[in-house]
Amino acid sequence: MPAPARVIDECFLPDFCSLRMVFAVVIVAQLFAFILALISIESGSSELWKQTAMISLFVQWCVLSSSGLLCRMRRYLCRVSPLWASLLSYVIVLLVVTLLSEIGFQLLYFDLSLGANHWYFLIRNGTVAALVTGPIMRYFYIQQAWQRNVKAEAQSRLQALQARIRPHFLFNSLNTIASLIPTNPAQAENAIEDLSDLFRVSLREARPFHSLGEEIDLCERYIDIEKLRLGERLTVNWDIQDVPKDALIPPIVLQPLIENAIYHGIETLSAGGAIHIRAGLQNNNLRLQIENPCEQQRAVANGGNHMAQENIRERLTAVYGKTAGLKVEPYADRYVVELHLPYRNKLDEDLDH
């Protein structure tokens, strides 16, 4: 019975049917064939190139046949333990080489045997295959283990970045709530509920995605808390009507940018100001833009935004690679940050892993 897709993706055996792997196999096999030819053929032989061509043909024949069989058997080999998968793959390669050596000896004796007798020819080819296949299988296993460790480390780092909450926001929120309890307990209770929702999203087990609607709801709760502190100094204008709210984005990518806009923009102005949040779809790319006013030249000089921005850049790179990013446009009296990422409304298999 074939292995499930997730099990196959985690298998240490590579996909020998992929174009990249076929190309690598052909190149490595050809280099190995040249080495065998140099070792086997006497210098000055009049049939040097003919013998080299026949050895290359035989090596490619063995290697591509083994790769093709491993490609067909991979979904079954991935169901067993790595040890058994290695042993079975090892046996498959040796059987293929032995069978093709027998066929080659019978059909191309004078071109391939180089004067060797039948058994010596089979044993020699089988020994070479055994010595080469073992280290290759070990390399595949070590490479897959390394990639698994890198992925686990990246996921752990991603969760740590996602879970980060700024202490000053927590302290300010608690102070604001404490000041509201004697005068407006109902508003204080609402603020506590908003704060708990923020913490719930930040501290729960990290999900790779949630909907844009959930992110907007999270941001609105954060803004409600900040409005308790800043009052009429803080105004937020949303321009997101044309964007589907079911678009999937990594959690907590918009909220830190709004937080930056408040702390490094609105709070620096005695009269406060308005934050403009825009979203749109362009060429199947989702674009989210946050614009805030700031003091003259402060946008260019202030480095306080960089930590949150680098946090988000790292997370977008970890999830999307080069297809997503963050762009900053500082002006004399305003600061603009724009996110762009592929539009998805369901989890693709390549992003879900």
We report the CATH number of the domain holding residue 319 as 3.30.565.10
CA distance 177 to 170: 11
Are 155 and 76 found together in one domain? yes
Where in the sequence is the domain holding 168, given as residue range(s)?
163-352
**Residue recorded with tokens 């090892």:** 90
Task: Show which of 160, 193, 220 is a domain's final residue.
Answer: 160
Task: Show which of 114, 138, 160 is a domain's final residue.
Answer: 160
Are 79 and 218 found together in one domain? no
Are 212 and 82 found together in one domain? no
Least confident span in 21-35, 272-286, 297-311: 297-311
Least confident span in 1-10, 171-180, 312-321: 1-10
pLDDT, tens digit, for every residue of 87-119? 888 888 889 888 888 887 777 654 554 555 777
Are 154 and 199 found together in one domain? no
Average pLDDT, the chain: 79
Are 166 and 214 within 8 A, CB to CB? no
Band (282; pLDDT cuts 50, 70, 90): confident
Are 151 and 51 found together in one domain? yes
The tokens of 346 are what? 């369901």
Are 118 and 171 found together in one domain? no
- Tell me how many domains the chain contains: 2
Are 174 and 57 found together in one domain? no
Residues 242/243/244/248 CA torsion (nearest 10 deg):
180
Are 201 and 326 found together in one domain? yes
Are 237 and 281 found together in one domain? yes
Are 128 and 255 found together in one domain? no
Task: Show which of 128, 160, 192 is a domain's final residue.
Answer: 160
